[in-house]
């Protein structure tokens, strides 16, 4: 799952994705990242969820011939309007860009999940590149959704929500429900 402002390391070896990455690097253009609704990452084209994020290649390396390692940075959310598969299986689509999140402060009832993210940052200092927006509902909700082992449908629901404060409050409710189930 990739949100705007997030980082996604990828290891690319399928020819269709190598060609896509080459074109993106050459033209400086982003590509789309969507979670898979049905199917698998490799082989035949999978069926993606309708909402995803654009991603721009920020770093790349080719440690061996035919294997490209990249770090993509999430830019903006989009909704797929139409899609088609090329002969090589690469999915292309027409999308509409979704409005950027209206950011807001952290609601008081969500302070515990900010502390959770602070602990993750302390224990794994290189995991999230600074600056850390711990006072931003958009940044906190996006980074926690990317990092936590939530079920894919929950992560997708959070990506599709409009408004950072709404996303943070929904994430808080999911974590509270999970804590009650665990106890």
Q: Residue 102: inside a domain, yes or no?
A: no
Q: Above 90 in pLDDT, residue 177? A: no
CATH number of the domain that residue 36 is part of = 2.30.130.40
Residue 132's alpha-carbon distances to 74, 98, 127, 142, 143, in angstroms, are 16, 24, 11, 12, 10
Last residue of a domain, one of 97, 132, 161: 97
For the segment 2-34, what is each residue's pLDDT rounded down to a tens digit?
Answer: 999 999 999 999 999 999 999 999 999 999 999
Give residue 42's pLDDT: 67
Q: How far is CA 161 from the centre of its chain?
A: 13
For residues 153 and 87, state if they share a domain: no
Q: Tell me what percent of the residues of the chain surpass a pLDDT of 70.
A: 98
Residue 157, domain extent: 108-182
Average pLDDT for the chain: 93
For the segment 102-146, what is each residue's pLDDT rounded down to a tens digit?
Answer: 899 999 999 999 999 999 999 998 899 889 999 999 999 999 999
């Amino acid at each position: 799952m990739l949100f705007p402002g997030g980082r996604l390391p990828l290891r690319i070896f399928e020819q269709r994705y190598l060609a896509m990455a080459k074109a993106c690097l050459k033209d400086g253009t982003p590509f789309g990242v969507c979670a898979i609704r049905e199917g698998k990452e490799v082989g035949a084209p999978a069926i993606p969820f309708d909402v995803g994020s654009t991603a721009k290649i920020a770093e790349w390396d080719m440690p061996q011939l035919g294997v490209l390692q990249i770090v993509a940075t999430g830019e903006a959310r989009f909704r797929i309007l139409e899609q088609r598969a090329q002969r090589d299986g690469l999915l292309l689509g027409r999308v509409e860009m979704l409005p950027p999140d209206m950011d807001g402060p952290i609601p008081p009832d969500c302070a515990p999940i900010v502390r959770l993210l602070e602990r993750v940052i302390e224990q794994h200092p290189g995991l999230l590149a600074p600056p850390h927006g711990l006072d931003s509902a958009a940044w906190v909700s996006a980074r926690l959704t990317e990092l936590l082992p939530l079920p894919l449908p929950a992560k997708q629901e959070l990506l599709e929500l409009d408004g950072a404060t709404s996303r943070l409050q929904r994430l808080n409710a999911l974590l509270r429900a999970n804590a009650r189930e665990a106890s």
